[in-house]
Amino acid sequence: MLFNSLDYFLFLPLVFILYWFITYKKLAVQNGMLLVMSYVFYGWWDWRFLFLLLFSTLLDYFSGIKIHESENPVRRKFWLVLSIGINLGFLGFFKYYNFFAAEFGALLQQLGFNVNEFTFKIIQIILPVGISFYTFHGLSYIIDIYKKRIPAVYNFVEYALFVSYFPLLVAGPIERATHLLPQLQVPRKFNYHQAVTGLRQILWGLFKKVVIADSCAYYANMIFNNSGDYNGSTLFLGALFFTFQIYGDFSGYSDIALGTSKLFGIELLRNFAFPYFSRDIAEFWRRWHISLSTWFRDYLYIPLGGSKGGKWMKVRNTFAIFLVSGFWHGANWTFIVWGFLNALYFIPLLLSNKNRDHINIVAAGKLLPSVSDVGKIAITFFLTVLAWIFFRSADLTQAWDILTTIFSSSLLQPLQVFPKEPLLLIVFFMLIEWLGREHQFALETFGLKWNRWLRLAFYMVLTVMVFMYSGKEETFIYFQF
Amino acid sequence: MKSFLIKVFLFSAVFITVVIIISTWITYRLSNNSYYRLDKSVKRIFLGHSHAEAAYSDTIIRNSRNFGQSGESYFYTYQKLQKLLSANPGIQQVFIEFTNNNLDGEMDQWTIESSYLKFHLKKYGHLIIPREKIFLFKKNPVAYMEAVPVNLKFFIDYFRTGADFYYTYADWGSFRASKESKIDSLRSVWSSRKTDYAGASKQLKPSAVHLQTRYNLVFLDSIINYCKNRSVKIVLIRAPQHPEYAGNINDSLFHTVRTKLYPTVPFLDFANFPLTEDCFLDFQHVNQKGSNSLSVILDSLLTQQYPLSF
């Protein structure tokens, strides 16, 4: 079920009514209902993959208890390795089998081995929606128990709900057991302010997705799918459209997820913090897909030694985290190069100890940034746009062709496509984002000091715009990851 | 909680009111016949799906305009026709493509399947009467609901941008013929499909016609009645088909249906019109060369058989 579908707009009020009016008296019943509805939400897409979700949940549930109850290091490690191995095995099979089969076959062929079509058969596999997300939920839970940061959960419904809670099930944010589970274990009380903020966040998320991302998607797809027909300036415009498409799409999804969860009195981890106003790449990565970045930091970067070792160790670990992050997005060299490029951007800051120069919010308390900040934001944004070209391209050849065309004299040629409407929408969108950058999301407090009717009119305009631009029901980019 | 629910309810009510106002405003503005007015020289119109779209050249056939459009079922043709005739009283003759695949069950999908419904409702949503809107809604509520905002935005953009000629903007169909001929490359594909058609034809009996299409022909009836009520001459017409066209396997059924259901409606049959291989785009559509040949003959035939009054 898509957040921007009609189905969801019938589903959400139904769950809200069941949650606050029918099952509210008993926590176990309320959680059980949420779990059932989360499975309905997931099964709406393809019910067969519910079994995979259930299996993964059962595996981590029992492994967690076994690890928790055992003091024997060998047994503890056995259950940890078993759980991680099976989880990553599923992820690897569904997401990466064909990639490795094709690449390994090609490598063997280059080395002179006789590889026929049956040696590494390419098979048609449907990638279960959200497998990367719920696998990471389970992994963090198991690793945290192994590291004795948290105890195992004995209530199966609570654990299963932690893994499959519908707002975050298919595209995150990637939650931590330490953050979400305690909220599921205590009764929730309806909070008017929280619910209203949630609705506002849903509205802003829908605006980002339906109005901004889907409008940009049309032109980004048109330009990238026919990249050979366009000059450098138009290709750069296409990359710009994709830059706003992916931000609107993914951060919009996260806003709808967080807003939805607020309606149930449950706070989820923040996933985006106005990344396109970052002054360097390190800041960008503290603000983009925060739940994944921090996951990799805690479960990969730090276990590898983090920044504690020498320069070589820092560089190695940074490359590791960015390459794995790229590969997490999909089985394609374009994602790996995207990760590699971001590592290249990041390492100079790390080696010169400037990676934490910009911890605070840009131009906090001011209306406009300084000239120096504008320059830094522009450079960071430009580097990000270049990296997104790899992310969006079908293969490395296309990405390279686009980049060489952009960095040629044709960059100075007139635009072959100049759609005014999406460009105006982007300006409006970024203006609101700028004005709201000191808050959790742009609309959190935006307009709250206005006259009540003016504020309502503003929300109504946004709502009508979402309605007018809807109907296409485009899927979310991050569903494929 | 009470305060929250009241506010959500009120906001939703205001939102629905705003949408209704916008919708009413668009319908009102588009009810003006001036949007749909054609050049006074247009006395004949051609309607139908891609067969009509590709076959009848309105630059060759005098005083005509082709409104054929790919993927159009009679339901949407009917909506279009009503507005065309009411806004253009000078139209004297309507030629409706009536061919073998109009009997297929697939034609019902062309009316209610999501992508078709959304595509057509975007353009004709404001013309459809409530009873027929309910029909569509019942058949595919989700697609219908999704099509409503698309229809509104489509025409808000039309008014906002002050776009060009209405028919060009709204794309009500026009003569479009390809210069290509793909017969050779398609021959192998269609020869395998012919087996499927042969299998299906065994179950296809004249009495089973409404099992194939349940409502496409209902709206052909509406089209015929509407024309008759306005004293506009209606003619069924069938575009040329390649001799190897497998879709005409239901030909005996087709003729049975035509003679039984529409005995008084004239029928111009060009299915076997002699054309060379290079006059076809594929087995069921003529290309520009074929269209030119056909249109020259058709123009002279219409002048003789269906003269216009000026």
Q: Which two tokens stand for residue B228?
A: 């008759």
Element (H, E) at B9: helix B2-30
What single letter denotes the amino acid at residue B124? Y
Q: What is the mean pLDDT of residues B37-61?
A: 93
- 10 Å CB burial of residue A452 (0-12, 13-18, 19+) is exposed
Distances (CA, A) of B231 to A72, A464, B68, B85, B225: 94, 44, 22, 11, 10
Of A377-391, B208-222, B230-244, the poorest mean pLDDT is in B208-222
Q: For the residues A375-383, what does the mean pLDDT come to?
A: 96
What is chain A's Cα-based Rg?
23
- B200 half-sphere exposure, CB direction, 13 A CA radius: 16
Distance CA A451, CA A41 (A): 39
Question: Which residue of B1, B118, B148 is in closest CB contact with A190?
Answer: B1
| Pick from B178, B186, B174: nearest CA to B281 | B178
Strand-pairing partners, residue B238, are B269
User: Nearest C-alpha of chain B: how many angstroms from A196?
Assistant: 8
At B184 the pLDDT is 78
For residue A249, which of A276, A218, A210 has the smallest C-alpha distance?
A210
Q: How many residues does chain A have?
A: 481
pLDDT tens, B263-300? 999 999 999 999 998 999 988 899 999 999 999 999 99
Whether the Cβ atoms of residue B302 and residue B270 lie closer than 8 Å to each other = no
pTM, entire model? 0.82
Q: What is the pLDDT of residue A244?
A: 96
Query: Greater confidence, A278 or B170?
Result: A278
Q: Do A471 and B14 touch (CB under 8 A)?
A: no
B206 pLDDT higher than 70: no
- Locate tokens 């009467």: which residue? B129
Please tell me whether residue A418 adopts helix, strand or coil conformation.
coil
* Whether A179 contacts A263, CB under 8 Å: no
What is the complex's ipTM, to 2 decimals? 0.83
Tell me the nearest-neighbour CA distance from A397 into chain B, angstroms: 30
Look at residues A5, A87, A7, A6 and name the one whose alpha carbon lies nearest to residue A40: A7
Report the DSSP pairing between strands B93-97 and B267-269.
Answer: unpaired
Task: Point out the residues of A that are catalytic.
Answer: 329
Q: Give tens-digit pLDDT for A81-136.
A: 999 999 999 888 887 777 777 777 777 777 777 766 555 566 666 677 788 888 99
Residue A266 has pLDDT above 70, yes or no: yes
Maximum mean pLDDT: which of A208-222, A352-366, B106-120:
A208-222
DSSP 8-state class, residue A260: H
Instruction: Give A-chain residues touching B19 at CB under 8 angstroms.
Output: 464, 467
Q: Provide the pLDDT confidence category of residue A478 given band limits of 50, 70 and 90.
A: low
In Å, how far are A390, A402, A406, B298, B303 from A415, measured between CA atoms? 22, 15, 12, 46, 50
B-facing residues of A in 5-34 (CB < 8 A) are 6-7, 20
A305 Ramachandran zone, left/alpha/beta (phi>0; psi -120 to 50): left
CA B214 from centroid of its chain's CA atoms: 17
Q: Quote the CA–CA distance of A52 and A42 in Å, as a whole number.
A: 11
Residue B167 CA: distances (Å) to CA of B34, B124, B188: 12, 12, 38
pLDDT confidence bin for B189, thresholds 50/70/90: low
Q: 3-state SS string over A319-358?
A: HHHHHHHHHHHCCCHHHHHHHHHHHHHHHHHHHCCCCCCC
What's the token pair of residue A15? Answer: 């769950």
Kindly state whether A199 is in contact with chain B, defined as any CB-CB distance less than 8 angstroms. Answer: yes
Residue from A464, A465, A466, A469 whose CB has the most chain B CBs within 10 Å, to mutate: A464
Give B162 or B117, the one with higher predicted confidence.
B117
- A197: nearest CA in chain B? B4
What residue has token string 């996951």? Answer: A295
Q: What stretches of A1-116 show up as alpha helix (H) in DSSP?
A: 6-17, 27-46, 50-69, 73-91, 97-110
- pLDDT exceeds 70 at position A320: yes
pLDDT (tens digit per residue) in B87-145: 899 999 999 999 988 888 788 889 988 888 988 888 888 888 888 989 999 989 988 88
DSSP B71-121: T--HHHHHHHHHHHHHH-TT--EEEEE--GGGGSTHHHHHHHSHHHHHHHH
